[in-house]
Structure 1
Amino acid sequence: MTRARSQRPAPGSRVVVIGGGIAGLATAALLADEGYAVTVIEAREETGGRAGTWERDGFRFDTGPSWYLMPEVFEHFFALLGTTAAAELDLVPLVPAYRVYAEPEGDGIGDHLDVVSGRAEATALFESREPGAGARLDEYLDSAADAYDLAVSKFLYDTYASSEGLRDPDILRRIPTLAPLLTRSLNRFVDSRFQDPMLRQVLGYPAVFLGSSPYDVPSLYHLMSHLDLDDAVLYPRGGFTEIIAAIERLARERGVEVRTGTAVAQILTAADGSARGVRLADTSEIAADIVVSAADLHHTETVLLPPERQTYPERWWRKRTPSFGALLILLGVEGELPELSHHTLLFTRGWRENFDAISGRDTHIPDPASLYVCRPSATDDTVAPAGSENLFVLVPIPADPELGRGGVDGAGDAAIEAAADRAIEQIAHWTGVDDLASRVRVRRTIAPADFARDLGAWRGNSLGLAHTLGQSALFRPGNASKKVPGLYYAGASVLPGIGLPMCLISAELVVKRLRGDTTAGPLPEPAAPTG
């Protein structure tokens, strides 16, 4: 087992990180802490990438992630830098964790329930809707917790640079248990245990956080329910850009230079094929001993590298599955909205049809759609003027830039704005806020064409490569180029996967690569300071 730390980098060893999203900033902070001289190059005027922000008329919106899950991953990352999540963020537990509305049968509001985190609360809720479901959920969550612990200790922090992690005796002993979880869909796993439609949807919807549907992700991912039902759902006061600000602050404190409004046009290679720096859009060059691209992997491979240097050329991508696309609707609303929780989910009766519309053969924007609403103003008085509400609506849609672009105050493409109108009407009808549309004072839409243009997202996807079986763990793109020594990757399309915690782990995997560490677990944390 290779855990020995390699030599510290030679004095003056230079790293260029492409992309100032969470993965790029986290990689920069960790490498600077290792002793490298790091420069981050971000094409946009602000850092954050998908975890961006937008402000207007006193409303401040997150434009990306909004669920703070896997808190121990954040804690571990901050510990590597000698601090804590509590010191860097103001985290608030959400009670309830979220609210769920079902599609109404007629003109009334939909059947709804509040999900409160905690084993006792969750099992009581399930039992209240389906006799015997509480005990079955107890077993389900035991299995989810076990799968989650296995994933964190054996899979998520593995670079797969060697097969030693996969040969771990603990994994080999558990193959009879793991095999069915990998070969059966999450939907089948849930439906075999529960009958109530809303309970099935509560357990199946986390697949969307993985960029896919419960019909396509393996049932191993039932581990996601451990995070919201067993564990807790938190919120960083000030919004998710506070996470970005904290990591950028830690990076700058370690000497990282962050350049925004600067696009990389090419990754440069030396005569021996190794990375030697980047060429910027203005034709100037930055020399480096190591290049880390935290930009979209498709863009990195097919635009920034010549064909002979591409580990993942265009033909590779033809057989891959992007995450769902997204229609984001940012709404500043006059008056209060107690009908909505901080997190609210609306689930359609046509569950299978909804997902088929997004990723089936005849893709289109589903109507009605199973969608998500975040109301951060329920918890945070800094995101909206007094007496008003901040709403972030996410409608999962196909990953297809041809669907169009969004805009401000209805200025987006017609199909996108019409879909946004339908979503607002749906929220109003299902939750009993009939005058919602008339109370909207600020509106902006963001669509797949915006993800493609602004973030370089392959096919306009919203999250990265979907977590299908063939795109998870050792089957997911690795964190090191096979064609360009000294070129590494971080972000949502490489190991270990989608989401802010996964991006933090991907940054750590770059460090493990450079240290020559092939162990499957996280890096050892430095001893906490005493006194």
Structure 2
Amino acid sequence: MNEAAFKYEVGINKLVQKPGRSLTEFLDWDIVKGVFRLDVFTSIQKHIQKHFKDTRLRQLMEFPVLFLGALPENTPALYSLMNYADIKGGTWYPNGGMYAVVDAMYKLAVELGVEFHFNEPVEKIQVKAGKATGVQTTRGEKTYEADIVVSGADYQFTESVLLEEPYRTYSPAYWERRVMAPSCLLYYVGLNKKLTHARHHALFFDVPFESHAAEIYKKPGWPTDPLFYVSVNSVTDKQVAPEGMENLVFLIPVASGLENDSEEVREHYFQMIVKRMERHLGESIADSVIYKKTYSVTDFVNDYHSFRGNAYGLANTLMQTAVFKPACKSKKVSNLFFTGQLTVPGPGVPPSLISGEVVAREVFKIFGR
């Protein structure tokens, strides 16, 4: 735990706040002298095996890595900092659900004078002489003039669709070579009863970890027998479901870019994991479902223009870290910046929010405002 604590402190304070625009950013004495303690060149699988003998504990410690975009044997042991964050920092739940965080940020922004224009997709970023001059939207071809443009949309979509070709930094071939973190298959479910033995969080490790991981990364395909996560947040938060009812979310990690994402495929997996949960709880679930919505690869593409339908951004391999990620500042448009999971520092809600902070500092540093 002390090793993971060191990685966490260096990672949070020295690495994730960097804009990743130059290797010189990392010429920090704490990073240089601690490079071997960061375990960048050791796999997290070997690192965990050194400390744990029980197979179940090893799988539990390796599971978070599944969302980073590589198998445990190919992921730097640096990312044991995730285990430290989970165990020591805890898992925090915002009352009202995750959207409560979005709503709070929106209200704060409005108080600070920010104007929002909803249901008005951007069609084009206008560029003149290497400088973004504004954005054009679908609403009557309206154009908003801008001194600085920050794109929080999918990076690949912004470059390949919103920018004309001369102003794109990365080619189609570049994007095709990217290694992606997983997508996921989600079920939002409402029950007309309370579950007796359910907990807020549950990870189902009742099938082999290695098989599912291989079907995400080695031979991408719909999993044969997947691990999955279940959140029953109505156990903790009474406002997310009517009295006497339950609110559940099921999540199955799957490979990005999968085809045949049909309702039949989704229903097959729903029946599979619900039966496993019923066996574990010793009570029925399927016959009490009064609401169900599914969400997966094609929805991420259609709703968010997500590259290959990914849910977690680029894989956190060594060659897709820091300066090797798509840059947070365009190399061809002087006042265009990028935030989100495909740029620094990486995937996940906290890193994506941090990317906004990083870009804000870059804007102030370059433009002085």
* 1:212 shift after superposition: 4.2
Determine the structure 1 residue equivalent to 2:278.
Answer: 428
Provide the C-alpha distance between the structure 2 equivalents of 1:212 and 1:237, rounded to a whole number of angstroms: 32
Corresponding position: 1:298 with 2:148: no
Confirm or deny that 1:417 pairs with 2:275.
Answer: no
Which of 180, 187, 191 lines up with 2:49 in the alignment? Answer: 191
What is the deviation of 1:231?
2.0
Matched residue SS, 2:362: helix
Structure 2 unaligned runs (5+)? none
Which residue in 2 is equivalent to 1:347?
Answer: 205
Does residue 492 in structure 1 map to residue 341 in structure 2? yes
**Which residue of 108, 113, 119 maps to 1:250?**
108
Q: 1:201 aligns with which of 59, 70, 95?
A: 59
Alignment length (residue pairs): 365
User: 1:307-318 counterparts in 2 under 5 A?
Assistant: 307-318=165-176
Is 1:366–2:215 an aligned residue pair?
A: no
Matched, 1:173 2:43: no
Give the secondary-structure state (helix, strand or coil) at the position aligned to 1:258: coil
Question: Partners of 1:436 and 1:215 in 2: how far apart?
Answer: 37
Structure 1 residue runs of 5 or longer lacking an equivalent are 1-140, 406-412, 518-531
Which residue of structure 1 aligns with residue 190 of structure 2? Answer: 332
Amino acid in the other structure paired with 1:403: N
SS at match of 2:337: strand
Q: Which residue of 236, 242, 246 corresponds with 2:94? A: 236
Match of 1:218 in 2: 76
Equivalent pair of 1:479/1:490 in contact (CA under 8 Å): yes
CA distance in 1, matches of 2:119, 2:323: 35
More helix as a share of residues: 2
Q: Distance in 1 between matches of 2:207 and 2:45?
A: 15
CA distance in 1, matches of 2:115, 2:31: 42
**d(CA) in 1 for partners of 2:351 and 2:30?**
23
- Over 3 Å counting, the alpha-carbon distance change for 1:188 and 1:403 in structure 2 is farther
- Please name the residue that 1:119 is paired with: none
- Counterpart of 1:176 in structure 2: which amino acid? F
In the other structure, the counterpart of 1:459 is 308
1:453 deviates by 0.5
| Aligned-partner residue type, residue 351 of structure 2 | M
Q: Name the SS of the counterpart of 2:277 in structure 1.
A: helix
What SS class does the counterpart of residue 103 from structure 2 fall into?
helix
* Contact kept? 1:491, 1:506, Cα under 8 Å: yes
Indicate yes or no: 2:365 matched with 1:516.
Answer: yes
Query: Is this contact kept in 1: 2:22–2:323, CA < 8 A?
Result: no
Partner SS, residue 93 of structure 2? strand
AA aligned opposite 2:226: A
Q: Residue type of the partner of 2:254?
A: I
Give the secondary-structure state (helix, strand or coil) at the position aligned to 2:26: coil
The yes-or-no answer on 1:285 pairing with 2:143 is: yes
Question: Deviations for 1:164-210, whole angstroms, at most 9, x for unmatched residues?
Answer: 431112222122333xx222222222123212122112211111343
Q: 1:204 to 1:454 in 2, by over 3 A?
A: same
RMSD, aligned α-carbons: 1.6
- How many angstroms apart in 1 are the aligned matches of 2:47 and 2:266? 35
Contact 1:211 1:498 in 2 (8 A): no
What is the aligned-residue identity percentage?
Answer: 33
> Offset at 1:239?
0.6
Aligned to 2:214: 356
Q: TM-score normalized by structure 1? A: 0.66
Distance 1:428 1:391 in 2: 13
Establish whether residue 402 from structure 1 lines up as the match of residue 259 from structure 2.
yes
Cα pair distance change 1:216/1:390, threshold 3 Å: farther
Q: 1:461 to 1:160 in 2, by over 3 A?
A: closer
Query: Cα offset for 1:515?
Result: 2.3
